[in-house]
Structure 1
Amino acid sequence: MVKETKFVLEGLHYRTGEPIFVHIENGRILDIFAAAHSNQAGSLSWLAPGLIDLQVNGCFGLDMNTLPLRPDTVLRMTRALLREGVTTYCPTVITNSPEAIEQAVGAIAGAARSYPAIAACIVGIHLEGPFISPEDGPRGAHPLEHVGPPDWSAFCRWQDAAEGRIRMVTVSPEWPGALSFISRCAESGVIVSIGHTGATAEQIREAVSAGAVMSTHLGNGTHLTLPRHPNYLWEQLAADELYGCMIADGFHLPPAVLKVILRMKGERAIVVSDSVSFSGMPPGRYHPHIGGDVVLTEEGRLHLADHPKLLAGSARLLKEQVAYLADQGLASLEDAWDCASLHPAAMLGLPQEQGLKVGAPADLVQVDRVAGRLRILNCCKAGILQEMSGEYD
């Protein structure tokens, strides 16, 4: 990192397109003023708020769920994500044995304690499971042997190991005792997200009343077929209280579904990468630490080698999913960007919700759009410009 505390960035405001100077000092945006030479606007890059990813399993060959998880892995992943414009994220720990979950969340907490750069970027851990549906379809790729009902005592043990850093937990409200668990999480400041669920419409409504505020990758982790109505997808779409997260990689959801989520949720629509370790890697055949071989295609689709119709996770990073929404005409580029920056900040109650305004945290990126692709030129986290080249170590 280049540890500058006072400098100026020049570019086009990502929403207005106007040339601006952004004066940064001591980790904040001190001032924003119009650039005088607007005739050069065509050569300037965008200035936009840093991206916020609520669901990161891995990237660039790094995996939050390959055990034992090492603090160095968390550090390298954080640096890799910064170079991709992600200034804030939730490392995601998925369904596993109680001991494995405890080790993973403890390693993330230890990394945040040891490295200030990690502590600044990690807003909290997303625990995706094991309190999810045991049914085929909703369970997704989560191992059945470790799925079980919400357990407050187990959660508290993991929260202790995480040093209080579990910020979000995905829960299926179909379990007995789920409503009490959701209420206790909400009271303790932990965000509950409905996901990997086979719940009834009534159980979805009860979960919202108990304090659930989000839907985990809405439209994925579901049965192959559902009753026409009512069902848990309609109910989550209709719940104005719920933020709706979506994987916009072009493979997990068709454009029509993405369009419906965007229209129904508005400022509560959130893009998450749900990226796995093969995100950012070159196309090819890979052998993960669990399961069979997978294939990453030139188009960015990750599928099982022996079953090409079955996805093996998301392999597109957040900026690529923002670009996809814009390229498909589902949202303007600036609105798609907000779905991956301001909207998750608002859900988390972060000051980054202010975006590109005086007094806001200096979490900014300079980005170019070339042939439908977004390229991060510079990334500023908490007023510090990041190194944009070299190895992730």
Structure 2
Amino acid sequence: MTRIEGIHFQTGKPVSLTIENGRIKEIEANAGRMGGNLPWIGPGLVDLQINGYNGMDFNTLPFEEELVHRVSQSLWKAGVTSYFPTIITNSDEAVCDAVRTIARACSQDGRTAASIAGIHLEGPFISPEDGPRGAHSRKYVKPPDWALFQQWQEAAQGKIKIVTLSPEWPGAADFIAKCTESGITVAIGHTAATPEQIRDAVEAGARMSTHLGNGAHLMLPRHPNYLWEQLADDRLWACVIADGFHLPESVLKVVLRVKGKQAILVSDAVYLSGMKPGEYKTHIGGKVVLTPAGKLHLTGNPGLLAGSAQMLPWGIAHLVKKKLCRLPEAWEMASIRPSELVDLPGKHGLSTNAPADLVLFEWNGDQIAILQTIKNGQTVYGADEMKGGEQSWELLS
């Protein structure tokens, strides 16, 4: 049995948590303790979209099971207790190899299996058009193929839990319905679909928008268009990248106001996240710059982003510092809400009998510092025990 004291992330009041057998056994008010010298306590962060981390990439093949273990462990220092390795558009064989390797890694190590809540397949069933396609290779983009997907799912041992696609393809609604019947969350993303096709997708079971506002044309009809349609549909949860670079504050504000408790924070982190600022040559042959301010852009063109390099604590801090929401809501967007969408036990947050997936952190109004990460009641990261000290996420000025 373990006892933890801290400031409850929702109430702002001191509490004591008793942990037993990997679960929260009891939560008690702790009025006798001063809050000033206590860390904050929040539920573990859940990231629905991780392409890689700290130089390790799920989309540079081949990769070994050891890479999956290392990414899972490295993410603990960012407070991430559950995540979805994200495989993007690639050849049929490459996708199959990637999901198979992730599944094997889960079968080898219990902590890896506990951290990976599922695999997110982002493509290849996306728009072939420039703009919506983003950085995905046009060569491998294709219409939804249920037989092919079943092959990948078999290789993944059933671990593909999220599929991002564009409903602009003929037969997309039938594919979405089959995924939904199989318990897979279908997300709309990288799309050039018409409003009618968006509506058909939602009727068929699509439930989420992948990084809404990104992976889109630079120019759109003012209305109707696929962004308005996704914003307006109350059945769709909206994921946003709140790193300060991918979406302006006005767009984030609108998404949070319109979607309410169905707004979710994702990192969409690429493998250069966690790396030091500098110039890097990516595996697709292009040179990129990771600035000291945290922006990842193409060398020679700061206006073109090369992916997201910031983790969920950065996004939480950005939302709060810009007064787009308060800390409890921002933390919920990166923990409880994604768990609710994909039906993870963490949807219960800090409550009795909930899994003891917890994060202890400092928050000074400008930045978040992860102090300790607990997975299933076991400490898996403690900043004071790691070389280099605390991992901090500083905000943009």
Question: TM-score normalised to the size of structure 2?
Answer: 0.96
Whether 1:173 and 2:138 are equivalent positions in the alignment is: no
User: Which amino acid is the alignment partner of residue 312 of structure 2?
Assistant: L
Mapping 1:254-269, distance limit 5 Å: 254-269=248-263
User: Which amino acid is the alignment partner of residue 24 of structure 1?
Assistant: I
User: Which amino acid is the alignment partner of residue 257 of structure 2?
Assistant: R
Deviations 1:204-254 (A, max 9, x none): 000000000000000000001111111000000011000000000100000
The 3-state SS of whatever aligns with 2:302 is coil
- Residue 309 (structure 1) shift: 1.3
**Structure-1 residue corresponding to 2:305:** 311
Mapping 1:1-393, distance limit 5 Å: 6-38=1-33, 40-370=34-364, 372-388=366-382, 389-390=385-386
- Residue 371 (structure 1) shift: 5.6
Q: Contact between 2:316 and 2:327, CA under 8 Å: does it hold in 1?
A: yes
- Residue 343 (structure 1) shift: 0.6
The 3-state SS of whatever aligns with 1:224 is coil
- Residue 281 (structure 1) shift: 1.1
**Structure-2 residue corresponding to 1:3:** none
- Residue 36 (structure 1) shift: 4.1
Q: Contact between 2:145 and 2:175, CA under 8 Å: does it hold in 1?
A: yes
Provide the rounded CA distance (Å) in 2 between the counterparts of 1:321 and 1:371.
13
Deviations 1:136-187 (A, max 9, x none): 0000000000001000111001001101000000010000110110000000
Provide the rounded CA distance (Å) in 2 between the counterparts of 1:378 and 1:387.
5
Deviations 1:309-358 (A, max 9, x none): 11000000111111110011101011101000111011011221110111
User: Which amino acid is the alignment partner of residue 69 of structure 1?
Assistant: F
- Residue 37 (structure 1) shift: 2.1
Aligned residues: 386
- Residue 17 (structure 1) shift: 1.0
- Residue 289 (structure 1) shift: 1.3
Provide the rounded CA distance (Å) in 2 between the counterparts of 1:270 and 1:172.
20
The 3-state SS of whatever aligns with 2:227 is helix
Provide the rounded CA distance (Å) in 1 between the counterparts of 2:35 and 2:372.
18
Provide the rounded CA distance (Å) in 1 between the counterparts of 2:300 and 2:97.
32
Provide the rounded CA distance (Å) in 2 between the counterparts of 1:250 and 1:257.
11
Deviations 1:15-60 (A, max 9, x none): 111111100000110001122423x211111010000000000111
Q: Contact between 2:126 and 2:165, CA under 8 Å: does it hold in 1?
A: yes
User: Which amino acid is the alignment partner of residue 231 of structure 1?
Assistant: N
User: Which amino acid is the alignment partner of residue 256 of structure 2?
Assistant: L
Provide the rounded CA distance (Å) in 1 between the counterparts of 2:143 and 2:196.
18
Unaligned runs of 5+ in 1: 1-5
Q: Percent identity?
A: 56
Deviations 1:264-313 (A, max 9, x none): 11111000000011111111001111131110001100001132211000
Provide the rounded CA distance (Å) in 1 between the counterparts of 2:313 and 2:381.
18
The 3-state SS of whatever aligns with 1:308 is strand
The 3-state SS of whatever aligns with 1:310 is strand
Provide the rounded CA distance (Å) in 1 between the counterparts of 2:372 and 2:68.
21
User: Which amino acid is the alignment partner of residue 166 of structure 1?
Assistant: I
User: Which amino acid is the alignment partner of residue 123 of structure 1?
Assistant: A
Provide the rounded CA distance (Å) in 2 between the counterparts of 1:135 and 1:42.
53
Output the aligned Cα RMSD: 1.2
The 3-state SS of whatever aligns with 2:303 is coil
Provide the rounded CA distance (Å) in 1 between the counterparts of 2:181 and 2:171.
16
Provide the rounded CA distance (Å) in 2 between the counterparts of 1:143 and 1:169.
17
The 3-state SS of whatever aligns with 1:88 is strand
Question: TM-score normalised to the size of structure 1?
Answer: 0.97
Provide the rounded CA distance (Å) in 2 between the counterparts of 1:371 and 1:232.
36
User: Which amino acid is the alignment partner of residue 162 of structure 1?
Assistant: A
Provide the rounded CA distance (Å) in 2 between the counterparts of 1:66 and 1:145.
16
Unaligned runs of 5+ in 2: 388-397
Q: Contact between 2:49 and 2:86, CA under 8 Å: does it hold in 1?
A: yes
The 3-state SS of whatever aligns with 2:47 is strand
- Residue 386 (structure 1) shift: 1.0
Q: Contact between 2:374 and 2:381, CA under 8 Å: does it hold in 1?
A: no
